[in-house]
């Protein structure tokens, strides 16, 4: 099928040559002031289709994002993360929060609007910030609405406005200036966060821009307490430890303490998001100045001679030759792929272990609460639970299954297991003092896990995570800020 399309590329490539050759068709004009060629599009163009005629090769490449095909650990099918080979304990671990109702694997950019529209985490309470990494209308909306954008009602105000503006899912104008096609950053939170780290963002290099455009969205963030503004917790660094410290200091001082309260352990929890940028930057490739585009947007030949930058943002394991081959051409690419799978397997198996221990820690703390253990000791155990979960979640939410930074991800999982185990040890000491039957407790945990795993309806799994032995500890908070 790729072959069949090839003919079309050839034809379109020829068209582009003709257009550029004549210089008077399809709005190809020359900017008189700078002497720079412009597209003839206006600065405010937000429709992907408007770019189609001018850049048919890149546009067609972009359309490949509609394809759905999974790899061993990644890929582009819309699948629930609760499935047995993914992370089946999540309805327990996120209990009390929207992520215990619906949480899916990510897929192609072209689906961003469709997916946010249909996800059950969006409710009548959701805010504008949820829209920020999905739509081409965002920069203009922020310009028009100012500070009000972030906290504005998603369903009532933001979505209808985006539709009226003719929004596209993540598109050309999100990364390119429509007039000049220069790369640009359109989401203000990114440069704000880099500046807070002391990075000079006034004149980024072309290579930096090849990662910056992705770093606008593929990052950890939270909604500020003041106005729900999308904020990146980067001031202390990119490592999971640095971001945790940020949350326990700077974020707290500014009024942000938690994303939600665990319904199992009553712990004020943090929910981590897709920190691809941070993880990559701290890994081997990031430190060697390899950019996101190097692997995810390789140069490809579309007509036997013309090279374009691929706009199919997907797993590089589908394009090893053009992605990895450009730098690792001396290596056997099949072996290199095996190496990636080995790294991912080790990470995912450590992740599953960390999630098991974390689950136990939540239920042990539940038992501390119902057994009347001293509140200060419970608080201490909850701090361990919170850390235990943060350090696996930051790895689980990252979409490379460990590849972007194999060592860093393993370190984080190790800390996670240590912290969850501290909660379990502290709880055990107290529960034994209270005369709790520990064998029975462990059996009840196995029972409740089994009930969650066996429930077929994803939305109902969370309800199986609490019962009369493990009563709910927090009222179900409306799933506010939907982070994806
Ligand atoms: C050295 C190559 C390389 C670089 C550089 C790189 N990635 Fe990746 N990325 C990968 C590989 C390999 C995977 C795993 C794909 C899989 O499991 O199928 C991946 C996975 C992903 C995924 C999940 C894809 C999927 O199919 O589920 C996302 C999203 C992603 N990377 C974003 C980024 C971003 C953003 C950057 C820059 C901050 C970046 N990557 C830098 C190689 C790279
Ligand atoms: C997520 C960011 C992103 C989006 C969205 C995006 N591009 Fe690009 N585009 C890039 C990057 C990165 C490059 C490489 C630029 C470089 O290395 O200087 C690029 C390069 C290009 C080029 C230069 C020629 C080439 O092939 O290298 C054109 C033309 C282009 N893109 C068109 C488009 C069109 C049309 C769309 C919308 C359908 C689009 N881009 C969407 C990031 C993006
Ligand atoms: C405006 C925000 C935004 C920007 C900019 C952006 N992404 Fe994404 N990206 C997303 C969202 C949102 C999704 C998930 C869409 C869904 O699941 O509906 C996604 C998904 C992906 C995926 C997963 C695709 C799959 O098949 O599973 C990859 C890979 C990816 N992005 C890479 C990149 C790279 C590389 C860049 C920079 C060149 C980039 N993205 C820039 C928001 C963005
Ligand atoms: C732009 C160049 C570039 C691209 C593209 C690239 N790499 Fe690398 N890769 C490097 C560099 C540089 C190193 C570090 C080499 C060193 O320190 O010896 C490296 C190291 C590695 C290592 C060893 C990492 C470690 O931590 O020991 C693996 C495995 C690897 N790359 C796999 C891949 C895969 C898989 C892809 C494609 C998805 C890829 N690379 C794409 C440049 C690249």
State whether 346 and 391 are in the same domain.
yes
State whether 284 and 340 are in the same domain.
no
Examine residue 478 and state whether it is found in any structural domain, yes or no.
no
Q: Which of 404, 406, 484 to mutate to test the pocket of ligand 1 (most atoms within 8 A of CB)?
A: 404
Examine residue 31 and state whether it is found in any structural domain, yes or no.
no
Q: Which of 138, 170, 290 to mutate to test the pocket of ligand 3 (most atoms within 8 A of CB)?
A: 170
Distance 481 CA to ligand 1 centre (A): 25
For residue 403 the two structure tokens come to 């590849």
Ligand nearest, relative to CA of residue 296: 3
State residue 33's pLDDT score. 43
DSSP 8-class letter at 481? S
The pLDDT of 204-210, averaged and rounded, is: 97
pTM: 0.93
Ligand nearest, relative to CA of residue 207: 2
Rg of the Cα atoms in the chain? 24
Mean pLDDT of the chain: 91
Q: Say how many domains are in the chain.
A: 2
- What are 341-355's pLDDT values in tens digits? 999 999 999 999 999
State residue 475's pLDDT score. 60
**Pick from 123-127, 377-381, 445-449: least confident:** 123-127
State whether 340 and 313 are in the same domain.
no
The pLDDT of 220-245, averaged and rounded, is: 97
State residue 320's pLDDT score. 95
Q: Which of 73, 183, 218, 312 to mutate to test the pocket of ligand 3 (most atoms within 8 A of CB)?
A: 218
Nearest-atom index, ligand 1, CA of 315: 26
Q: How confident is the model at residue 306 (pLDDT cuts 50, 70, 90)?
A: confident
State residue 35's pLDDT score. 52
Contact at 8 Å (CB) between 43 and 179? yes
Q: How confident is the model at residue 470 (pLDDT cuts 50, 70, 90)?
A: very high
CATH code at 390? 1.20.140.10
Examine residue 22 and state whether it is found in any structural domain, yes or no.
no
DSSP 8-class letter at 247? I
Residues in the chain: 484
**Cα angle 401-402-407, degrees, rounded to a multiple of 5:** 165
Q: Which residues of 162-171 are buried (b: 16+ CB within 10 A; e: fewer)?
A: beebebbbbb
Nearest-atom index, ligand 4, CA of 284: 26
Q: How confident is the model at residue 75 (pLDDT cuts 50, 70, 90)?
A: confident
Nearest-atom index, ligand 4, CA of 298: 5
Whether 470 lines ligand 1, by a CB cut-off of 6 Å, is no
Residue where one domain finishes, among candidates 298, 328, 358: 328
The pLDDT of 16-31, averaged and rounded, is: 33
Q: Which of 207, 288, 405, 406 to mutate to test the pocket of ligand 4 (most atoms within 8 A of CB)?
A: 288
Examine residue 147 and state whether it is found in any structural domain, yes or no.
yes
Examine residue 185 and state whether it is found in any structural domain, yes or no.
yes
- What are 359-375's pLDDT values in tens digits? 999 999 999 999 999 99
Task: State the Cα–Cα distance between residues 220 and 199, nearest whole angstrom.
Answer: 18
State whether 307 and 373 are in the same domain.
no
Using CA positions, which residue lies closest to atom 12 of ligand 4? Answer: 288
Examine residue 264 and state whether it is found in any structural domain, yes or no.
yes
Ligand nearest, relative to CA of residue 291: 1
CATH code at 154? 1.10.1130.10
Q: How confident is the model at residue 76 (pLDDT cuts 50, 70, 90)?
A: confident
State whether 195 and 255 are in the same domain.
yes
Q: How confident is the model at residue 304 (pLDDT cuts 50, 70, 90)?
A: confident
Sign of the Cα pseudo-torsion (478, 480, 483, 484, in order): positive
State whether 322 and 337 are in the same domain.
no
Using CA positions, which residue lies closest to atom 17 of ligand 4? Answer: 284
State whether 261 and 152 are in the same domain.
yes
- What are 268-281's pLDDT values in tens digits? 999 999 999 999 99
Distance 310 CA to ligand 2 centre (A): 8
C-alpha atoms less than 13 angstroms from C-alpha of 89 in its C-beta half-sphere:
24
State whether 74 and 167 are in the same domain.
yes
Residue 310 has pLDDT above 60, yes or no: yes
Distance 296 CA to ligand 4 centre (A): 13
Whether 296 lines ligand 1, by a CB cut-off of 6 Å, is yes
Q: Tokens 């001396």 label which residue?
A: 330
Q: Which of 74, 76, 108, 320 to mutate to test the pocket of ligand 1 (most atoms within 8 A of CB)?
A: 74
Phi, psi of 459, deg, nearest 5: -65, -25
Using CA positions, which residue lies closest to atom 40 of ligand 3? Answer: 214
State whether 406 and 289 are in the same domain.
no
State whether 311 and 182 are in the same domain.
yes
Contact at 8 Å (CB) between 224 and 196? no
Give the binding-site residues of ligand 4, using a 6 Å CB cut-off: 284-285, 288, 290, 294-295, 316, 323-324, 326-328, 336, 339-340, 406
State whether 345 and 280 are in the same domain.
no
State whether 169 and 306 are in the same domain.
yes
Using CA positions, which residue lies closest to atom 13 of ligand 3? Answer: 109
Helix/strand/coil for 311: coil
Q: For residue 268, give the H/E element and its range.
A: strand 268-269
State residue 476's pLDDT score. 52
Examine residue 168 and state whether it is found in any structural domain, yes or no.
yes
345 is in which domain, residue-wise? 333-465
Closest C-alpha among 278, 312, 273 to residue 295? 312
Residue where one domain finishes, among candidates 275, 304, 328: 328
Examine residue 479 and state whether it is found in any structural domain, yes or no.
no
Q: How confident is the model at residue 24 (pLDDT cuts 50, 70, 90)?
A: very low
State residue 61's pLDDT score. 95
Residue where one domain finishes, among candidates 309, 328, 347: 328
């Amino acid at each position: 099928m790729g072959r069949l399309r090839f003919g079309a590329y050839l034809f379109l490539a020829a068209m582009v040559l003709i257009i550029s050759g004549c210089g008077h068709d399809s709005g190809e004009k020359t900017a008189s002031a700078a002497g720079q060629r412009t597209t003839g599009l206006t600065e405010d163009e937000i429709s992907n289709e408007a770019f189609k005629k001018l850049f048919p090769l890149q546009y067609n490449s972009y359309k490949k994002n509609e394809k759905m095909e999974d790899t061993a650990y990644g890929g582009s099918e819309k699948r629930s993360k609760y499935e047995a080979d993914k992370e089946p304990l999540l309805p327990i671990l996120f209990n009390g929060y929207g992520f215990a109702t619906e949480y899916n694997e990510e897929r192609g950019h072209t689906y961003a609007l469709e997916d946010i529209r249909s996800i059950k985490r969006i409710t009548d309470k959701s805010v504008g910030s949820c829209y920020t990494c999905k739509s081409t209308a965002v920069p203009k909306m922020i310009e028009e609405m100012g500070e009000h954008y972030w906290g504005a009602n998603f369903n009532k105000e933001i979505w209808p406005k985006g539709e009226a503006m003719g929004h596209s899912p993540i598109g050309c104008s999100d990364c390119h200036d429509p007039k000049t096609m220069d790369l640009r950053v359109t989401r203000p939170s990114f440069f704000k966060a880099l500046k807070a780290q002391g990075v000079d963002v006034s004149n980024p290099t072309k290579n930096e821009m090849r990662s910056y455009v992705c770093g606008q969205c593929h990052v950890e963030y939270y909604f500020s307490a003041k106005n729900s503004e999308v904020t990146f917790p980067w001031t202390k660094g990119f490592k999971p430890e640095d971001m945790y410290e940020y949350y326990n200091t700077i974020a707290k001082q500014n009024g942000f303490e938690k994303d939600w309260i665990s319904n199992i352990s009553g712990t004020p929890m943090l929910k981590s998001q897709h920190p691809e940028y941070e993880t990559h930057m701290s890994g081997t490739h990031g430190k060697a100045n390899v950019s996101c585009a190097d692997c995810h947007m390789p140069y490809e030949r579309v007509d036997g001679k013309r090279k374009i930058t691929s706009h199919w943002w997907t797993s590089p394991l589908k394009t090893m030759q053009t992605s990895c081959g450009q730098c690792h051409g001396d290596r056997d690419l099949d072996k290199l792929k095996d190496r990636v799978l080995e790294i991912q397997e080790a990470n995912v198996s450590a992740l599953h272990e960390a999630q098991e221990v974390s689950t136990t820690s939540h239920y042990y703390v539940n038992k501390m609460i119902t057994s009347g253990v001293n509140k200060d000791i419970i608080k201490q155990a909850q701090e361990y639970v919170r850390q235990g979960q943060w350090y696996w979640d930051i790895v689980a939410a990252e979409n490379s299954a460990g590849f972007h930074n194999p060592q860093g991800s393993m370190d984080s999982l190790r800390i996670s297991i240590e912290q969850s185990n501290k909660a379990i040890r502290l709880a055990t000491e107290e529960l034994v003092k209270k005369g709790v039957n520990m064998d029975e407790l462990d059996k009840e945990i196995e029972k409740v896990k089994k009930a969650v795993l066996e429930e077929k309806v994803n939305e109902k799994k969370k309800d199986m995570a609490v019962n009369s032995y493990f009563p709910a500890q927090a009222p179900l908070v409306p799933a506010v800020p939907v982070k994806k």
